Structure 1
Amino acid sequence: MCKLNNNLGKKHVYSKRHQIVLNNILQKFETKIVHAKSTLFSPDVQDAGFESGAKFWCYFCQIEASKHVVSEDCTVLGSGLLHHISR
């Protein structure tokens, strides 16, 4: 995300390139949200070893988070994003 900080009372200037990059990031994250919302009503559960260690990049926190929630005997697909944003 944007690292510019104007402490001199000036407003932040959004260049055309900045707007394009931010728009692309928001569209990618929206796609992840839409997919995660679909798991709310029809969760897909697999065995515990399915895609073990799968991660996704959170643009806002700037960290990698678990893509799925894994318990000792099953994996709930796509629910890691919901878990991450609910914190």
Structure 2
Amino acid sequence: MGKQKAAFHCELCRRTFFSGRGHVYGLKHQETLRNILDNFLEKVRDARKVLKEARVERYDFTEHDQNFWCYCCKTEVKKHVTNGNIAVVYGGFLEHFESSEHKKKTSAFWWENKANIKLKDQFSLSPEDYEKFKAAVTKALESYEEKEDEYIKEGAERIREVEQQRRELVQAALEVGLPRMNLKSIHDNCFFFALTYQLS
């Protein structure tokens, strides 16, 4: 009687197999792995687009509080980096991909699932590329702040224009429309109305 193989739970296939780790070489597992990596690679390519052209945007919780699932690390990671006022698009994604922890777990994932070794480098980021990204973020942040300063100046100028128009309107109304009353006549009228009210 042959030795019984230990049960093996495959997280990718979400099933337990009693044929041992040999399951990872099977067609079904490799097909599941390929589909997962193809979908994941699309997200990686989207993130890599901002390596040279970093994007800094005004914070919007509907967009910038998103997470993504890292299959290699088996954990959720912040997609963007934000301080609550501004967001660096894909900043969290790229920061995670450059981390030594992610690279270590990616190697383990590749070994455990017998993934195509030629694809492995696409699922991490070199320190050199990450440094280029940080430089691009600095440049994008400066550009964003310049635009915000210009926007504030334009807003302040608009407020000044509206205030000036209001003053001119009030001045015009005083000059042509309303009869002027001296303080004594205003006081006498107020006294008369108060007395009339008390007697009624």
Question: Shorter-chain TM-score: what band?
Answer: 0.7 to 0.9
- SS state at 2:39 partner: helix
Q: Which blocks of at least 5 consecutive residues in structure 2 are unaligned? A: 1-9, 100-200
Aligned CA-pair RMSD = 2.1
Task: After the TM superposition, list the runs of 4 or more consecutive aligned residues in structure 1 that deviate by more than 3 angstroms.
Answer: 10-13
Question: Match of 2:75, as an amino acid?
Answer: I
Asked which structure has the greater CA Rg, the reply is: 2
Match of 1:49 among 49, 53, 60: 60
The structure in which a higher percent of residues are strand is 1
- SS state at 1:43 partner: coil
Q: TM-score of the superposition, structure 2-length normalised?
A: 0.36
In structure 2, the partner of 1:16 is 27
- Identity across aligned pairs (percent)? 35
What is the Cα deviation at residue 12 of structure 1?
3.2
Within-5 A mapping of 1:1-87: 2=10, 12-13=22-23, 14-50=25-61, 51-87=63-99
Structure 1 CA distance for aligned equivalents of residues 21 and 66 of structure 2: 40
Structure 2 CA distance for aligned equivalents of residues 18 and 59 of structure 1: 15
What is the Cα deviation at residue 79 of structure 1?
2.1
Structure 1 CA distance for aligned equivalents of residues 33 and 84 of structure 2: 38
Question: Match of 2:29, as an amino acid?
Answer: H
Q: Which blocks of at least 5 consecutive residues in structure 1 are unaligned? A: 5-9
What is the Cα deviation at residue 73 of structure 1?
2.9
- Report the number of matched residues: 81
Do 2:64 and 2:79's aligned partners in 1 also have CA atoms closer than 8 Å?
no
Question: Match of 2:78, as an amino acid?
Answer: S
